Structure 1
Amino acid sequence: MYRIGSISKIFTVYTLLVNYGWEHWNDCIMKYLPELQHADHNPSVAHVDWSKITIGDLASQLSGIGRDYSYGDLANLDIPWTDAGLPPLSPDDVPQCGGNASMPPCDRDGIVLLIHVAPHSYSSFLFLEYVHGLFRRAPVFAPQTTPVYSNTAFRMLGYIIQAIGGTRFDKLLQSSVLRPLNLTTTSYAIPAGEGSWVIPNGESGWYQDTGDETPTAGMYSSSSNLAKFGRDVLLSKQLSALETRRWMKPSSHTAGLFLSVGSPWEIMRTRSQISHGRTIDLYTKSGSIGQYNSLLVISQDYGVALSIMTAGLSSAAVIEVASEMVLQTLIPTLENRTLYEACKSLCGTYESPDRSKNSSLTVSMDTNGLQVERWINRGVDFLAVIQAYASQTGSPSIHMILQATNLEYPPNTQGQDVTSRRVAYRAIFEKDTSDSTGQHRIMDQSARQWTSVDTPMYGEIAYDDFVVHFDHSGIAFAIEPRVMRDTLYKVDGEAGSSPRFTHIQSPGF
């Protein structure tokens, strides 16, 4: 077991979705955090307008509030900052909790101070340091402006989840997520007893009490448990497939061209062969606390999850190198494996059982994916027809790639194997959008391909609409080009028969 730092945020959002779905996503947070009623209700550059922030804003890092209340505050370090040119601070301006790992975490319920007011007489006051501290923190951006990494947002999310169900967050996490998924080496609190723990020498952070900050950065897990959790997300073990797809989407972009932010995913975009190939999205979450650095990577494209965990004084540098080495090797291997398996299942030639129609279609594979290599309908080369149509529109088509749609149907003909299934595909017409001058284009025409899906149509059915019939073993035996109102059956199913496929071998790991 390691500490996983901010990967804890994934478990916090997942707990919210498993228990309450999207029902409260757009609710104002003031509905569940009564302390915020005492904030300054005259918003300014120095005060957060809490009434404009929703639960979804917190989860997607779009609340605009600051990163922390006090953690990392330089005023808590025993250093003569005035000698460095900083102004002296009054005691009220120095956080008394949570400023660094050696200080107690800030408690939501406050600290009771006993003030001597007369001989043998004391009065008690409840000093809500954390809440008052938040009120003193200025907003960073207006809500929904741009993502700002905020630990405070996920601490608040922990409070909100507790308020919605009336159950402590740690208990809800255990009963609704960790126990049902059998994540026996994942823990909200410091593991009790003895176990296989990784604890570096020195101030490792293993025993650091994160208190109410645990929903944002305080949990523990093992590499196997974390990877299993990622697979369970992909398999929609608790959320429905639709809810999983809805969750695994970007909410905003960052200043980096290849990094978007979800809830709370850190979404990296790369190519399937690293330097070229199709676009691949990696849904990741990194975590760091003390001497621990960790990374969870989930790929919907390949249906895999992986975790990398490091501990030690150089763990930050190590995980940066290790993750790059692993992904540089793994992604092309997974891509080639995916291409091989897809072609093994679907590649081949399909023909109409009525030979007089002279209708056939050949599916092959190249590095772009499953390709409609040849399409004859009633003796006419229909790919040539598509090419001619595309040329008239000024954008000649070079590839017709089949893409799965997540739409699946039961068999629709009597006598068909009841264990068979029908899966909908759409043909993506990849076009040559390269600039003959070699100049980089800002308005890249390939980015417009998504607007041409489901067009053109013929009799209210689009040219790109296909349904593939699979048997119980997952091998395709028929394909419907729906625009032709016909079903073609496989007559040649050797995956490696296509000359375009000969360079893609069955990859190993």
Structure 2
Amino acid sequence: MLSLLLPLVLCVPLVLCKCSDPSPAFPVPSWIQQHKDGSLASTFQAIDAALQTIASDDQYSTTSFSIQLTSETETLWSHHHTALKHNATRPGTTHINDQSLYRIASITKVFTTLGLLYQHAAGNLSLDDPISDYIPELNSSSAIPWKDITLRLLASQLSGIPREGNWADLATNPFDPTSVGLPLVKKEDLNLPACFDPEIFESCNWTQILPYLSKKQPVFAPGQKSTYSNVAFELLGLVLARVTGLSYEDYMHESIFKPLKMESTTFTTPESDEHAVLPVDQFFWDVDEGIHNPTGGLYSSSADMSIFLRYILTHYNALATGVNWFMPTSWTGLRSFYGMPWEILRTDRILEHSNRPVTFVTKGGAVPSYFSRVTLMPEYGLGLTLLIGGESSILEKIQEAVTIPLVRAAEEAVWQDIDTTHSGFYTALNHSLNSSIAFAASPATGLEVKSFISNGTDIFATLLSTYARLSGIPEGDKWRAQLSPTLLFKDEGRREGEIWRMQIVHERNDDGAIWDDFCLVDVDPVSYAGLPLNEVVFWHGEQVVELSAFRVKMGRLGGGSGEGIDEGSGEGLFVQQSS
């Protein structure tokens, strides 16, 4: 057997990479079907109670917030809290609900980038064009190499340009600089745009700001390191205006808000305070951000943001050719990354039964008195909106209180569903063959192959054990055969014939070497007669599994192993809650 499989050596890394939990994706259950009988009601009740406890702290007496969870198709749960104290002269809304309006600040960058992707897909611009092709004024005697800064780098926080134009300059703050050790500077020596007036909080126009930007120094070389920049998105907004012939604000309305029916989302201060969330001492509600709109000018509601997240969850890999919008573009820490323009966390510390990483694709925003974050969990097909008016420190407390129990409950629901639909014992439809395979699902090991006989041959004792040795797994170490979904189908039109790939998983322990964390994914190592040796296809309508390279179909005799899964049908898992 070993001699027959020697060609596999060419397909195996020279150093074994212990990708012990290789499958961060799985078929997402139908949350619509599962949210009818309330099996997760206790989870949401516990989250509601935790949120009420957080909000009861005296430091949050002037803070209101809205939280909403959506699946790919509908809102599943929401929680709204109204501040105990309001401004006596201008209270705004005193009953927070999903129509309440907040400033969502830098979440606006996601909309700007979506507009950019639309224009890239239409062929009106390329993400890899330099910004100077669209704003040639930047080339004039500038220390920043604008010709080397592409639209993609700007949207990915990899441009290396400064964070702000003038708004972050301490000279714009009404305080005594000498109190913090800074010298006094005369107004004529401020080295700020000519339009700047420290007594008036208003934006410059492009005629005034572009010459100022041309004099700025770079922070990094383009594409070298990531650093946050608001200016990058202000420039992208100008590019969109010049490419489309519309104002940036009109283009956003016509291309995104109007088609998606986001009727409350606007760059213009709402005429009425009926739905306005106006925290005590806020001063930013009425500020017109002008040319800064593309980086943080939007007003929106949790209901509108759920509409938007549903769209993103169902289109993120189909917005433009070659662009998966949820993929990282650079790292910002050990487990955190920038996307375009997402802020991504990937952690293996959240699941209770597995070290499999969970990915949170987020975008946060902050302007005075308003703090916000959207969190997409594409593995689960879920999106979370968190909008705050008031004290900023509540955001991280809410994020932790909501996402941890939510993901753990969704994880349990996922494996209950997979256990019901995939686990079981299958035998060959051609009864002349002595062929069978058994699967069991659990949160700890995923969908695992427990036994595999092909025409009387034990595949574990022959093919799989030989491949495990060739992969470098030491004799005596534990390994398993685990299925990883490709999220593709043999019949894409009817979404039938769900394709999975079998992988050998080395079960690591806690005393491994540093380089055990070096994981190179390879799910297509070898084929047989032109078909992937590890391809497993589930035809759920027929209760049949197909082993492609083995040229065999097997029918399901029994299902639902229950291994590692709490008892229950898995139905009715999400209910809408609010308080």
Fold similarity call, TM over 0.5: yes
Structure 2 CA distance, aligned partners of 1:221 and 1:325?
23
- Find the counterpart in structure 2 of residue 124 from structure 1: none
- Find the counterpart in structure 2 of residue 433 from structure 1: 508
- Contact 1:236-1:244 within 8 A present in 2 as well: no
Report sequence identity in percent.
29
What's the CA shift string for 1:179-219, capped at 9, x where partnerless?
A: 11111121122123453221112234111111111110110
Shift in Å, 1:499? 3.5
- Find the counterpart in structure 1 of residue 201 from structure 2: 103
Find 2:372's aligned residue among 281, 287, 294.
Answer: 294
Structure 2 CA distance, aligned partners of 1:60 and 1:36?
20
Q: Residue 14 in 1 paired to residue 114 in 2?
A: yes
Report SS of the residue matched to 2:214.
helix
Find 2:540's aligned residue among 457, 470, 479.
Answer: 470
Q: Residue 374 in 1 paired to residue 451 in 2?
A: yes
Which runs of structure 2 are paired with 1:115-126 in the superposition (5 Å)?
A: none
Which runs of structure 2 are paired with 1:296-335 in the superposition (5 Å)?
A: 296-312=374-390, 314=391, 316-335=392-411
Q: Residue 197 in 1 paired to residue 276 in 2?
A: yes
Count the aligned residue pairs.
463
Q: Residue 4 in 1 paired to residue 104 in 2?
A: yes
- Find the counterpart in structure 1 of residue 545 from structure 2: 479
Find 1:26's aligned residue among 122, 128, 153.
Answer: 128
TM-score, scaled relative to structure 2: 0.75
**225-234 vs 54-63, which moves further:** 225-234
Q: What is the identity, as a one-letter code, of the residue corresponding to 2:504?
A: F
What's the CA shift string for 1:40-69, capped at 9, x where partnerless?
A: 3xxxxxx21111100001100000001001
Q: Residue 211 in 1 paired to residue 290 in 2?
A: yes
Q: 1:389 to 1:52 in 2, by over 3 A?
A: closer
Shift in Å, 1:322? 0.5
Shift in Å, 1:24? 1.0
Shift in Å, 1:245? 6.1
Structure 1 CA distance, aligned partners of 2:320 and 2:500?
18
Q: 1:73 to 1:160 in 2, by over 3 A?
A: same
Shift in Å, 1:380? 1.8
Structure 2 CA distance, aligned partners of 1:38 and 1:480?
64
- Contact 1:233-1:244 within 8 A present in 2 as well: no
- Find the counterpart in structure 1 of residue 87 from structure 2: none
Find 1:251's aligned residue among 329, 335, 341.
Answer: 329
Any stretches of 5+ residues in structure 2 without a counterpart? 1-100, 575-579
Q: 1:357 to 1:60 in 2, by over 3 A?
A: same
Shift in Å, 1:39? 3.2
TM-score, scaled relative to structure 1: 0.84
Q: Residue 66 in 1 paired to residue 152 in 2?
A: no
Q: Residue 139 in 1 paired to residue 218 in 2?
A: yes
Q: Residue 400 in 1 paired to residue 478 in 2?
A: no
Structure 1 CA distance, aligned partners of 2:254 and 2:227?
31
Q: 1:53 to 1:445 in 2, by over 3 A?
A: closer
Structure 2 CA distance, aligned partners of 1:84 and 1:419?
66
Q: What is the identity, as a one-letter code, of the residue corresponding to 1:281?
A: T
Structure 2 CA distance, aligned partners of 1:455 and 1:99?
64
- Contact 1:273-1:335 within 8 A present in 2 as well: no
Which runs of structure 2 are paired with 1:249-288 in the superposition (5 Å)?
A: 249-254=327-332, 256-271=333-348, 273-274=350-351, 276-288=354-366
Structure 2 CA distance, aligned partners of 1:375 and 1:242?
41
Structure 2 CA distance, aligned partners of 1:99 and 1:365?
64
Shift in Å, 1:296? 0.1
Any stretches of 5+ residues in structure 1 without a counterpart? 41-46, 110-127, 412-417
- Contact 1:272-1:332 within 8 A present in 2 as well: no
Shift in Å, 1:447? 1.4
Structure 2 CA distance, aligned partners of 1:383 and 1:430?
13
Shift in Å, 1:483? 1.8
Q: What is the identity, as a one-letter code, of the residue corresponding to 1:406?
A: L
Structure with the greater relative contact order (CA < 8 A, sep ≥ 6): 1 or 2? 2
Q: Residue 338 in 1 paired to residue 414 in 2?
A: yes
Q: Could you list the runs of 4 or more consecutive aligned residues of structure 1 that deviate by over 6 angstroms after TM superposition?
A: 98-101
Q: Residue 185 in 1 paired to residue 264 in 2?
A: yes
Shift in Å, 1:149? 0.4
Q: 1:265 to 1:445 in 2, by over 3 A?
A: closer
Structure 2 CA distance, aligned partners of 1:261 and 1:195?
37
Report SS of the residue matched to 2:549.
helix
- Contact 1:67-1:149 within 8 A present in 2 as well: yes
Shift in Å, 1:460? 3.6
Structure 1 CA distance, aligned partners of 2:471 and 2:180?
66
Structure 1 CA distance, aligned partners of 2:548 and 2:159?
46
Shift in Å, 1:420? 6.6
- Find the counterpart in structure 1 of residue 525 from structure 2: 455
Shift in Å, 1:269? 0.8
Structure 1 CA distance, aligned partners of 2:329 and 2:418?
31
Q: What is the identity, as a one-letter code, of the residue corresponding to 1:306?
A: L
* RMSD over aligned Cα atoms: 2.5
